[in-house]
Structure 1
Amino acid sequence: MSGPARIGSAPDSWGVWYADDPRQTPWERFLDEVAAAGYTRIELGPYGYLPTDPARLRDELGRRGLTMTAGTIFEHLHRPDSWDSTWKDVSAAASLTAAMGAEHLVVIPDFWRDPQTGEAIEDARLTDEQWPAYAERMNHLARRIRDEFGLRIQFHPHADTHVDTHENVERFLHETDPALVSLCLDTGHIAYCGGDSLKLIRDHPDRIGYVHLKQVDPGVVADVHDKGIGFGEAVRMGAMCEPPLGVPEMPPILEALAELDAEIFAIVEQDMYPCPADQPLPIAKRTLAYLRSCGPLR
């Protein structure tokens, strides 16, 4: 057993979804505030949001007592002829992540509907023919990321993507190579899509390599699904909420993670794009205090 999870936070908890958006928290303020909230570990966030020059980023983190746990990037390997464009984005993020001394790269599948408008842009489900092809491309991506950058792929199931529901997460795990691909278990997205994070941890302990801690408001989520609302609008409605106001319960999750035979980073995220500039810091402080009250964290 590796013991308690290693806690951190991410730009997402400061309302950051894009490399550059005037509605987002400026990166300098994010770094200042995440340190002020009491965190010592962060994720890279959208590639290009934080400085991409390794020496400068290393200096900015060091001056604030911060270290990097993982890079974060989207992929679209379920689409034909997608390798070159995916590799261009993923390899850039991987290079910077490795230069920061991190060991993980969180890879998120692209959306089947527009996250802002909710409009469907492709089929919501992969066919039986598409699944193995997608998995093989993911295995190939993970192998190259490992061999060229020394990083471990942590695949992040996400709302409004093809790997969303508990059933689809299970299928993804079945189709991909456990020696290459681990799961970034996002407790909020799993709950949003009707899944059970605790069951995934217990059923697949060897596939849990990384975690995003997040809660959802079940009332808002039920309304979202009933009306067929897209993820971006759901976030603006408050679907992702501050712990301990939502689900899943955090103490059982943290206890189960502590029992895994792995070093687990548990990164706090609360999707709230866009948000008022003064909103993230108080939430971050309260969330960290709450999570520490649930049990030991590192």
Structure 2
Amino acid sequence: MTVRWGVSPIGWVNDDLPSLGAGTPLATILDDAAAIGFAGIERGGVFPAEPAALAQVLQGAGLALAGAWHGSGLLAHGLAGERAAIEVQAALLDACGCGVFVLAETSGAVHGRRDVALRARPRLAPGEWPAFGAMLTALGDRLAERGQRLAYHYHLGTVVEDADDLARLIDATGESVGLVIDTGHARLGGIDPVAVIRDHPARVAHVHAKDVRPGVAAATIGQGASFLDGVLAGMFTVPGDGAIDFAPVCAALRAIGYAGWIVIEAEQDPALAPPAAYARAGLAHLKALWG
């Protein structure tokens, strides 16, 4: 069984708060990722949006595309209203040989707003889940026909944040809807990633590995601060630098034969947490556990 080790550029330049890392050249991000030894990198906002240009840039750096965030507005616009944007993203992934479509529903989401408390995030009423799940399943089926796997990303500040949300999502969707196992968002959202991996192995489509500092989270988002306030204060870090024990996570992934991407990720201020050094340390920590 072989996993592929990737990295998110969010430690270099933060798409939710572009002032973090503003002005960092794309070449620096790519050179750092390649020098550390990552096989791939996820797409960030400073990357080309045109498929051929993105493929060329990645090829020049010797990196594969490990994924690309897509914030959907299914609840606001319906599947038909989102079709064009989804097709653009799918075409970009195709051009770069990436088979995983990372998606989070961002209708009403607050994670990108520093003026809104995280606790004000949107929620779905029980009766709204079936229709939402049906749209996601239809999308997952459509993507599967073109060789891509839908990987739903539960995320703080969105309609799928906590364990109850995730359970409802799984119940409302078919097997074509996979999951991003994000350890950091799981820990702060009250989700047990090991249990999700164990109980829903067929759903595990992608992994984001990041650590958390619970004391910082408690002092910020736990007291009514925004998601971005928590990020700025340092509630996230790379594996091995926080409170999460990644040994059970790695063991659970090995037990199901996981062979996709494991992406090192941490939303941090690069002026306080040098991104290359942190990414290198996170990768080393996980590789030592993986064996």
Same fold? TM cut 0.5: yes
d(CA) in 1 for partners of 2:235, 2:92: 32
Which residue pairs with 1:222 in the alignment?
218
Per-residue deviation, 1:262: 4.0
Residue correspondence of structure 1 range 1-298 to structure 2 within 5 A: 3-17=1-15, 23=22, 25-46=24-45, 49-79=46-76, 81-110=77-106, 111-113=108-110, 115-119=112-116, 124-147=122-145, 149-178=146-175, 180-272=176-268, 274-276=269-271, 279-296=274-291
Structure that is richer in helix per residue: 2
Percent identical residues: 28
d(CA) in 2 for partners of 1:57, 1:88: 19
Per-residue deviation, 1:247: 3.0
Q: CA, structure 1 residues 65+139, in 2 after alignment: closer, same or farther (shift >3 Å)?
A: same
Q: CA, structure 1 residues 18+158, in 2 after alignment: closer, same or farther (shift >3 Å)?
A: closer
Per-residue deviation, 1:123: 6.4
CA contact (8 A) 1:113 1:160 kept: yes
Post-superposition Cα deviations, 1:264-283, rounded to whole Å, max 9, x if no partner, equal 211111012x5329811111
d(CA) in 2 for partners of 1:136, 1:193: 24
Q: 1:259 is matched by which residue type in structure 2?
A: A
Q: CA, structure 1 residues 185+128, in 2 after alignment: closer, same or farther (shift >3 Å)?
A: same
Per-residue deviation, 1:141: 1.9
CA contact (8 A) 1:106 1:155 kept: yes
Q: 1:237 is matched by which residue type in structure 2?
A: A
d(CA) in 2 for partners of 1:223, 1:191: 15
CA contact (8 A) 1:58 1:100 kept: yes
Post-superposition Cα deviations, 1:20-50, rounded to whole Å, max 9, x if no partner, equal 767253322211111122212112234xx31
Larger CA deviation: 113-122 vs 255-264: 113-122
Per-residue deviation, 1:86: 2.8
Q: CA, structure 1 residues 194+224, in 2 after alignment: closer, same or farther (shift >3 Å)?
A: farther
Per-residue deviation, 1:130: 1.3
Which ranges of structure 2 fall in alignment gaps of 5 or more residues? none
Per-residue deviation, 1:4: 4.8
Q: 2:139 is matched by which residue type in structure 1?
A: L
Q: CA, structure 1 residues 291+92, in 2 after alignment: closer, same or farther (shift >3 Å)?
A: same
Larger CA deviation: 237-246 vs 92-101: 237-246
Q: CA, structure 1 residues 287+18, in 2 after alignment: closer, same or farther (shift >3 Å)?
A: same
d(CA) in 2 for partners of 1:91, 1:77: 14
d(CA) in 2 for partners of 1:120, 1:290: 33
CA contact (8 A) 1:91 1:145 kept: no
Counterpart secondary structure, 2:68: strand
CA contact (8 A) 1:235 1:271 kept: yes
Q: Which has the higher contact order (CA 8 A, sep 6+)?
A: 1
CA contact (8 A) 2:183 2:193 kept: yes
> How many matched pairs?
288
d(CA) in 1 for partners of 2:142, 2:18: 28
* Aligned-pair Cα RMSD in Å: 2.4
